[in-house]
Amino acid sequence: MTDLALRIERGYAALSPQEQRAADFMREHLDDLAVYNATEVASLSGVSKATISRLYRRLGFDSAEQLRDHVRGLRGAPRAITGTDFEAHLEHEIANLRSALSGLILDEPARLIAGARRVLVIGYRNSYPVALHLRQQLAQARDGVELAPLPGQSIAEELTSLGRDDVVVLVGFRRRPASFAPLVGALAAIPTVLLTDPTGRRYARDVTHLIECPVDTVSAFDSYAAAASVVTLLASAVLGLRSRVNDVSERFAALDELES
């Protein structure tokens, strides 16, 4: 977690609703804060400039320029991880794993997924590979698991066919598309499990279950190692409730699809 994200995290509960709204925007656009001024942050997050000024002071910055300088120093341009950085990267990854797994309770989400008539896993942009992996894992545990959107596919057709007996597993890490909030709204009547990072907490009231995984690293790029670990645990929990792994293994053998 970057220093700025950590500052937001530590003071989030004490912020006013408007300040939390701005803080949510900042957490989701950390890189962009290197160029945005206070007026732009206020406009894009839908709060007043006075709210942004108060929030910056709460975070320990005297001005927007000071915050911009801070962000530039933290992230900067994408850089390679050198040999001397490996240890710091490892420590940060371990911290992310501890954060994701500490207090993690998957009983209810797993039971929801295991008992659904159909499971639709949705992921856009950088969330798509995680969604793809989750779908592959869940397909080992039960049938009726689908992925959306597929290449060249829109999402409306998939949502129209969903019912209360179905479940959506929505993977939505930061840098989400503008259509993400309307998508969450469209799923209001469908049991939904959201896998996200701390910037997705704003959707907690709009979904059935929220599972949080940090993605910050010491480099300019996010890491989904903690998310991959949680995906494994979630799929394993579903497997324990509804398993078709033996049938799948028999088909693998019959088709000779896997190496011995």
Average pLDDT over residues 78-82: 56
76 has a pLDDT exceeding 50: no
3-state secondary structure of 148: strand
Q: Point out which residues pair with 116 in neighbouring strands.
A: none
- Give the domain 3-74 fold: Arc Repressor Mutant, subunit A (1.10.10)
Question: Is the Cα torsion angle 225, 194, 16, 42 positive or negative in sign?
Answer: positive
Q: Which residue has the tokens 């990072």?
A: 197
Structure confidence at residue 77 (pLDDT): 45
pLDDT in tens, 14-63: 899 999 999 888 887 777 787 788 888 888 889 999 999 999 998 888 88
pLDDT digits (tens, 9 = 90+) for 140-153: 888 899 998 887 77
209 pLDDT exceeds 80? yes
CA atoms of 231 and 247, how far apart (whole Å): 22
User: What is the identity of the amino acid at 58?
Assistant: R
Structure token digits, residue 241: 């409730």
Q: Which two tokens stand for residue 171?
A: 């993977």
pLDDT for res 110: 92
130 pLDDT higher than 90 = yes
What confidence tens digit (pLDDT) does each residue in 155-174 have?
877 788 888 999 999 999 98
Rounded mean pLDDT of the chain?
84
DSSP string, 183-231: HHHHTTTS-EEEEE-GGGGGGGGGSSEEEE-----SSSS---HHHHHHH
Residue 26 has which token pair? 């900042």
How high is the pLDDT of residue 1? 47
If pLDDT is split at 50, 70 and 90, which confidence band does 7 have?
confident
Q: Which two tokens stand for residue 128?
A: 């798509």
* Domain map (residue ranges) of the chain: 3-74, 104-255
CATH 3.40.1190.20 at 104-255, yes or no: no
Residues forming a β-bridge with 167:
119
Beta strand pairing call for 119-123 and 167-171: parallel
